[in-house]
Amino acid sequence: MKNKKLALSKKSINLVSLIRGTVIDTLNDARYASRSIDFRCSDEVIKAEVDEILIRRAVTNLIYNAIVHNPESAAIAVSVEKTGQHVFIRVEDNGKGIREDEVNRIIDRYFRGTNTGEVHKGSGLGMAITHDIVEAHGGDIRVESRLGEGTTIIIRLNV
């Protein structure tokens, strides 16, 4: 992925089923069984030509970040919405947020923000990998965050 030569195995899938399944798989993991993730979708079927394994990995990374970088009390919501020729996948939380000067750096390889805490010792690759997966699909990813208020990460894909 680092060399932008990611081989995609695209097929037409229902993104709603994929993302809902990703949320369910996360909640079925014993480490996160006590967490609550709200799932919403604009339609029950939103078809897109994507690499199912890679999109699942990207969304899993975002959900995992929302869980591990926030207190257990943080609300997490995942949504899938089709608007015109685009589909938007959002992972939102009302947790700690990201410092303004770090928002644009979180997709940099090996970058770990200062607000990650001591409990989580990640590699700093999750967001970079997610960014590369989304870009390989011709989409983009945007991060909106306010310190102390939470973070929203939005993936935009063409359908």
| Domains of the chain as residue ranges with CATH | 11-158 (3.30.565.10)
Instruction: List the one residue out of 153, 146, 159, 123 whose CA is nearest residue 58.
Output: 153
| pLDDT value at 108 more than 80 | no
Could you report the per-residue pLDDT of 66-102, keeping only the tens digit for each? 999 999 999 999 999 999 999 999 999 999 999 888 8
Residue type, 134: V
Q: How would DSSP label each residue in 74-139?
A: --EEEEEEEETTEEEEEEEE-SS---HHHHTTTTSTT---TTSTTT----S-HHHHHHHHHHHTT-
Instruction: List the one residue out of 121, 123, 133, 134 whose CA is nearest residue 69.
Output: 121
pLDDT of residue 103: 82
Pairing of strands 140-146, 150-158: antiparallel
Could you report the per-residue pLDDT of 109-142, keeping only the tens digit for each? 555 555 544 444 455 678 989 999 999 999 999 9
The CA distance from 10 to 13, in Å, is 9
In this prediction, residue 13 has a pLDDT band, given cuts at 50, 70 and 90, of: very high
Report which DSSP code applies to 41: E
